[in-house]
DNA sequence: TACAAATGTAAAGTATTTTTTACATCACGC
DNA sequence: GCGTGATGTAAAAAATACTTTACATTTGTA
């Protein structure tokens, strides 16, 4: 029932960033290592708050850490495509 | 115990976007109106997945819909400021 | 006035995220 | 070989996001 609509670069970024360990990242973000493991492996989508914190640790915009793939999302195709501004 | 680290432009965007109602947005996002109300008022931070869906409805990048304010976050000041690339 | 549509609030229940605890494996250096 | 640090996995408990239901308020309009 759950495809993967959100991918992330966390593991890659950890290594680019001084070989940071899961535990270090967890500490910086303020969560447990388990949470990092689960998010890193895409076990479940994190809270927006934690997502922002992770991106902040890497000094990157959120969307360079997490990517949304609407094509895998059951709520993909909007009938009306009104965009804003 | 909970400051507001994340603000959003949802209400503003609803009106800019064809005067979309909470219910309409909820339907497009695939959640209930209650969820939209709660997120709109910042009652709790949404899941990253729902955040991405909301941004998709407005055809905007996530960070133009949700803004992170680390200065209000207890996990604000990183001691080491290693940035990535 | 009366009715309908949009919004605000609240409370109880369900689902999901996060923590806590625990153990197993692998690689490294001593 | 032994110990230590990093990672993988798992399962139950705690916390929190989300739903469902319900009702009150406001605004517009017939």
- The tens digit of pLDDT for each residue in B2-29 reads 345 899 999 999 999 888 999 999 999 9
In this complex, the nucleotide whose C1' atom is nearest to the CA atom of residue A31 is C18
Binary contact (A78, B56; C-beta < 8 A):
yes
Domain A6-72: homologous superfamily in CATH: lambda repressor-like DNA-binding domains (1.10.260.40)
Chain A residues whose CB is inside 8 A of the B42 CB are none
Binary contact (A63, B60; C-beta < 8 A):
no
B22-56 residue pLDDT tens: 999 999 999 999 999 999 999 999 999 999 999 99
Binary contact (B52, A18; C-beta < 8 A):
no
A-B contacts at Cβ under 8 angstroms: 95
Task: Indicate the burial class of A65 (C-beta count within 10 angstroms; 0-12, 13-18, 19 or more).
Answer: buried
A6-52 residue pLDDT tens: 999 999 999 998 889 999 999 999 999 999 999 999 999 999 999 99
Could you tell me whether strands A6-8 and A66-68 are parallel, antiparallel, or unpaired per DSSP bridges?
Answer: antiparallel
Binary contact (A57, B73; C-beta < 8 A):
no
Task: Indicate the burial class of B82 (C-beta count within 10 angstroms; 0-12, 13-18, 19 or more).
Answer: exposed
Q: Which of A13, A45, A47 sits opposite B84 (nearest CB)?
A: A13
The partner residues of A22 in beta bridges, in order of sequence, read: none
Is the ipTM, as predicted for this complex, more than 0.90? Answer: no
Chain A residues whose CB is inside 8 A of the B51 CB are 48, 51
DSSP class of B46: P
Domain spans of chain A, in order of start: 6-72
């Amino acid at each position: 029932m759950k495809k993967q609509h959100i991918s992330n670069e966390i593991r890659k970024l950890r290594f680019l960033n001084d070989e940071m360990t899961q535990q270090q990242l967890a500490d910086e973000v303020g969560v447990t290592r388990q949470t990092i493991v689960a998010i890193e492996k895409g076990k479940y989508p994190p809270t927006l708050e934690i997502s922002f914190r992770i991106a902040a640790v890497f000094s990157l915009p959120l969307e360079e850490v997490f990517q949304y793939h609407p094509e895998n999302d059951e709520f993909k195709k909007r009938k009306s495509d009104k965009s804003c501004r």
